[in-house]
Amino acid sequence: MRSLKVPAGKLFFRICRVICSCCHHTHALLPSFMVPYSQISMNEQAEVISAHESKGGREILLNRNPSIDESNCRYIIRCFLRHWKQRLLSEKITLSNKAELCRGCFSAFARQFMQIHCTPNILFLNTT
């Protein structure tokens, strides 16, 4: 079970796990809006960072989602500055388009935006 902090509290997800026929390891299939090892969605993390980068206040986000507090915001900003800011700049990936942010991070770094652990990931695109 994984959880996300949402305005109503915590939202729990049952995560599908699969066994790879090549490497025989178990892998979790996460939706693109979830950041591995985090309880805050990719969209909300990007909003916190955008507010920080524009020198704007985080009050609107904190009021909209009371499950996220100031310490969560400080942690997100610290991780972004330490692990992700230079990576995004080097690949010219912006925070404005969330779908492109997700695809760009998987393509360039083989991990979800704001994922800190060095676990390789694969993005499964919708098939037609």
pLDDT digits (tens, 9 = 90+) for 47-67: 999 999 988 777 888 888 899
**What total of structural domains would you count in the chain?**
1
When pLDDT is cut at 50, 70 and 90, the band that residue 104 belongs to is very high
pLDDT (tens digit per residue) in 26-45: 988 889 899 999 999 999 99
Residue 55: which domain range? Answer: 2-109
Residue 120 pLDDT greater than 70, yes or no: no
Per the domain annotation, does 43 fall within a domain?
Answer: yes
Per the domain annotation, does 120 fall within a domain?
Answer: no
Distances (CA, A) of 40 to 22, 35, 37: 32, 7, 9
Per the domain annotation, does 59 fall within a domain?
Answer: yes
